Amino acid sequence: MASAVKPIFIFLAYISFHLSLIASKTKDTTPAVWPLQFHSILFMNNSGTLQKVDLWYDWPNGRNFNIIQNQLGKLTYDLEWDNGTSYIYTLDSNKECRVLHFDVGILRPNWLDGANYLGQQEKDGFLCNVWEKVDFIWYFEDVITKRPVFWAFYTGYTAHVMTFEVGAILEDSQWQAPVYCFNEGEEKRKKEAVIESLGWSDNHQGNLMRGISSVSMTL
């Protein structure tokens, strides 16, 4: 008799443990703070315009890098600094570059503070906690790992997170904009070409992410 009771007790204890684990995850509705440094590969969709973005986030050094491969198109570099300066350029023979200046820096690791919790949804095969921030972005985070899975901007521009490497660092030599970005005459002559090559005007990952900081500061 005792031998029959023991397996039942173990089974009930197992079920109880997992139910409590699920309950604790449901109650944990605070989005994870972004790691100070990470690398992520994103697949972006802007009303049918597709890109693959290599995102390098480096908060300690005040910099963020979006390397944007347009589908069957140009490879474009969007290098952002926390002083509000962005360099958007190509490294091909056209030597296109545009320098932009913003009133805000790159996103802080805790940029999701104050976001509105919307509950749980399935997204891309993952059960996610979902938040909305200032009617600007909707952010999906895996319930178990707390890694980002997906986000969508108010414009309809969406990001599917394919990889998320915490602690990955891009070597310093890669964070230097090309010399022609600092040639005023060259910049004036070609500044629009690189933006047009992205397939849309200022509705891209870097500008929209800076927009979150800008909107949040006005609240």
- Residue 203, judged by CB atoms within 10 A of its CB (0-12, 13-18, 19+), counts as middle
Q: How far apart are CA 194 and CA 190, in angstroms?
A: 7
- Helical H runs in the chain? 2-27, 184-197, 205-217
One domain for residues 110 and 195 = yes
pLDDT at 6 over 80: no
Average pLDDT, the chain: 83
| pLDDT band with cut points at 50, 70 and 90 for residue 47 | confident
One domain for residues 91 and 57 = yes
**129 within 8 A of 117, measured Cβ to Cβ:** yes
| CB proximity list for 185: less than 8 A, separation 6 or greater | none
One domain for residues 210 and 176 = yes
pLDDT at 29 (0 to 100): 86
pTM of the model: 0.78
One domain for residues 10 and 51 = no
CATH number of residue 199's parent domain:
2.50.20.10
pLDDT digits (tens, 9 = 90+) for 163-176: 999 999 999 999 99
One domain for residues 54 and 160 = yes
| pLDDT band with cut points at 50, 70 and 90 for residue 84 | very high
Domain that holds residue 193: 37-217
- Helical H runs in 28-57? none
One domain for residues 129 and 45 = yes
One domain for residues 9 and 115 = no
Q: Which residue has the higher pLDDT, 109 or 185?
A: 109
One domain for residues 25 and 105 = no
One domain for residues 19 and 85 = no
pLDDT at 211 (0 to 100): 61
Q: How far apart are CA 170 and CA 126, in angstroms?
A: 28
pLDDT at 189 over 70: no
What's the number of domains the chain is made of? Answer: 2
Residue 180 CA, chain-centre distance (Å), reads 28
Question: 199 in helix, strand or coil?
Answer: coil
One domain for residues 116 and 26 = no
Q: What value does the mean pLDDT take over residues 9-38?
A: 65
| pLDDT band with cut points at 50, 70 and 90 for residue 15 | low
**At which residue do the structure tokens 């690189």 appear?**
194
